[in-house]
Amino acid sequence: MLRNDITKRLTKDNLLLAGSTAIAAGMVNVASVIAFFAFTSNVTGHVAVFAEEIVKGHWHQVFIVLVWLLLFLAGAFIANYIINSVAVKGTYVAHSVPVILEIVILVAIAFYGHHYYSETLQETEFLVGALLFCMGLQNSLVSTITGGVVKTTHVTGLFTDLGTELSQWFHPKTEKTKILKDRLTLRFTILSFYLFGGISGGWIFLRYDFIVFYVVAVVMLFVAYYDLTMVVTKKTIMKIRRPAHEIQEQN
């Protein structure tokens, strides 16, 4: 998922990355709505609230929402900055660092929320900001890796693309190419996994509260270590399949 850059990526790579990160985004967003009455996987609604609070003259809320927007922006900025800075050490390492950073923040949120969260306004504002930073980080990472093909923290653009591509698929004068089929498969994968993540995230939060963010961290850990496990597995299989005389010659 993370080992190949945009020039070497296969459809399988994008599908795995899209499905995994869509689950994470869906879980985070629904859990945030239940816990904080705030969306955290995208900022569309926050921009509207920002404008509303300016009109009403609620300047404290204007400041808080502005900070949230800037945190999402900062997450996106930092993810891409890290990737470009660490690229000399290899594609996998460059792509893994933002994922590890997201995991650390998610674990910290889960720990604090489960043990110390007392539902004060200040705590809520801080935790929403931290989750928005994580989602900005994740969305920028996925978008950078796939060349903008995949974005999994919001579905507004997804529905637009899906509607456009479905019209092309069903139009009698449009050729049903493999590229179009792959795009539709990708869109439906993101949508279905985001929905699954939302449902499972809501279910877990209602029963185990902030433990849900540990689960999200595990999902992102899978994203980070998938390529390593695949490389180790392939090397092990190749070693097992090697003829005995080759092994004896090396020894």
Per-residue pLDDT of the chain (251 residues; tens, 9 = 90+): 888 888 888 889 999 999 999 999 999 999 999 999 999 999 999 999 999 999 999 999 999 999 999 999 999 999 999 999 999 999 999 999 999 999 999 999 999 999 999 999 999 999 999 999 999 999 999 999 999 889 888 898 899 999 999 999 999 988 889 999 999 999 999 999 999 999 999 999 999 999 999 999 999 999 999 887 765 666 677 667 766 555 555 55
Region for residue 220 given its phi and psi (left: phi exceeds 0; alpha: psi -120 to 50; beta: otherwise): alpha
Q: Which residues contact 109 (CB under 8 A, 6 or more apart)?
A: 127, 130, 131, 210, 213
| pLDDT score, position 9 | 85
| pLDDT score, position 7 | 80
> What is the torsion angle, in degrees rounded to the nearest 10, for the CA atoms of residue 71, residue 72, residue 75 and residue 79?
-160
Residue 109 CA neighbour count, 13 Å, CB half? 29
The one-letter amino acid code at 11 reads T
Angle, vertex CA 96, rays to CA 95 and CA 97, nearest 5: 100
Task: Return phi, psi of residue 170, to 5°.
Answer: -90, -10
| pLDDT score, position 233 | 67
Region for residue 4 given its phi and psi (left: phi exceeds 0; alpha: psi -120 to 50; beta: otherwise): beta
CB atoms inside a 10 Å sphere around CB 140: 24
| pLDDT score, position 240 | 75
Whether 105 and 134 have beta carbons less than 8 Å apart is answered as: yes
Q: Which residues contact 60 (CB under 8 A, 6 or more apart)?
A: none
CB atoms inside a 10 Å sphere around CB 104: 12
Q: Is 37 helix (H, G, I), strand (E, B) or coil?
A: coil
Angle, vertex CA 226, rays to CA 221 and CA 232, nearest 5: 130
CB atoms inside a 10 Å sphere around CB 164: 12
